[in-house]
Copies of this chain bind each other. A is one copy, B any other.
Amino acid sequence: MTVKNIAGDNHLSSVKNALRILRSFSMDEPEKKISELAESLGLNKSTVSRTMSTLASEGFVFKDPDSKKYRLGLSLLSLGGIVNSQMDIYRESHPVLNRLVQEVGETAHIAVLDNHEVIYLQKVECNHPVKVLTHIGKRNPPYSTSSGKTLLAYAKEEIIEAVIERGLQRFTRNTIVDPKKLVTHLKHIREKGFAFSIEEFHEGVNSIAAPVYDYQGKVIAALAIVGPKQRIQPSKMPALSKKVISAANDISSRMGYWK
């Protein structure tokens, strides 16, 4: 007898399995074995094996001939590209990011909130040899980065509650783990119109973010610059934040937001 999906789930389970398999791949673990997947997702080896061969037949995964493990396939690259091109913020923000990166000499990126996580839509890297690595599509917790906190600050009450509900995990000495502190912190962000993170997610990494508005005046994204603490120092924050805010406003106005 199979353990049924939790009640209320009227979803196609084999499809759901396939999607969960795909989503279990990550930047850190780009290749997976059948048995690993079966183990981690609580599925039978044979189920995973068959699902993988279906995924492979449509180009969503492929078997690496060297490591003999599975990797994500080119179909996902195409589909990801379509998603990317659809977001008009992508188009509009690119030149602005470029200019900002030139001005401040730090990596800049655009992030949005998706299901209690921050997801990076786009980035432009600085050409400094020392830089902070992120990648498009990466997901981070929203309460520990400047872009995440910015998005959270302007998000609906329920989302903030849901994030707190799910628990605030400590990543560094400075991570905000006290729900009350987070709430007042978000209030400050709304008042000042920008957010910063001083080693709250990764040691030695600081960032500054500002909100991007759409034509309805809704916050739809955050623009952030990220860099090592030696370069993004607290003393430089006022000047840098002005530039970040100005760039974010620039994108907002391209999105149809008028003051």
Contacts and interface: CB of A to CB of B under 8 A. Distances in A.
A138 interface: yes
B115 A77 contact: no
Interface string A1-34: 0000000001110111111101101110010000
A79 interface: yes
A80 B79 CA distance: 7
Contact of A74 (B57, B73, B74, B119): B119
Contacts of A256: 74, 77-78, 81
A59 interface: yes
Nearest to A127: B115
29 contacts: A11-B53, A15-B15, A15-B54, A15-B55, A16-B57, A16-B58, A18-B19, A19-B75, A20-B58, A23-B58, A27-B81, A27-B82, A59-B114, A59-B115, A72-B82, A72-B83, A73-B83, A76-B83, A77-B121, A77-B136, A78-B119, A79-B137, A80-B81, A81-B135, A81-B138, A81-B256, A82-B137, A84-B136, A85-B135
Given A76-B79, A256-B74, A30 B86 contact: yes
A102 interface: no
A136 B85 CA distance: 9
Given A23-B75, A77-B215, A80-B83, 20 more contacts: A12-B51, A14-B15, A15-B15, A18-B18, A19-B58, A22-B75, A30-B85, A59-B115, A74-B119, A76-B79, A76-B80, A76-B82, A77-B84, A77-B87, A78-B138, A80-B81, A81-B215, A81-B256, A82-B137, A85-B216
Residue in A22, A112, A137 with the greatest tally of chain B CB atoms within 10 Å: A137
Nearest to A80: B80
A19 B54 CA distance: 9
Interface of A: 10-12, 14-20, 22-23, 25-27, 30, 50-51, 53-55, 57-60, 71-87, 112, 114-115, 119, 121, 135-139, 215-216, 254, 256, 258
B114 A74 contact: yes
Contacts of A51: 12, 15
Instruction: Name the residue in A54, A57, A83 with the highest tally of chain B Cβ atoms < 10 Å from its Cβ.
Output: A83
B80 A11 contact: no
Contact of A22 (B74, B79, B114, B136): B79
A192 B111 CA distance: 40
Given A20-B58, A75-B23, A86-B72, A81 B137 contact: yes
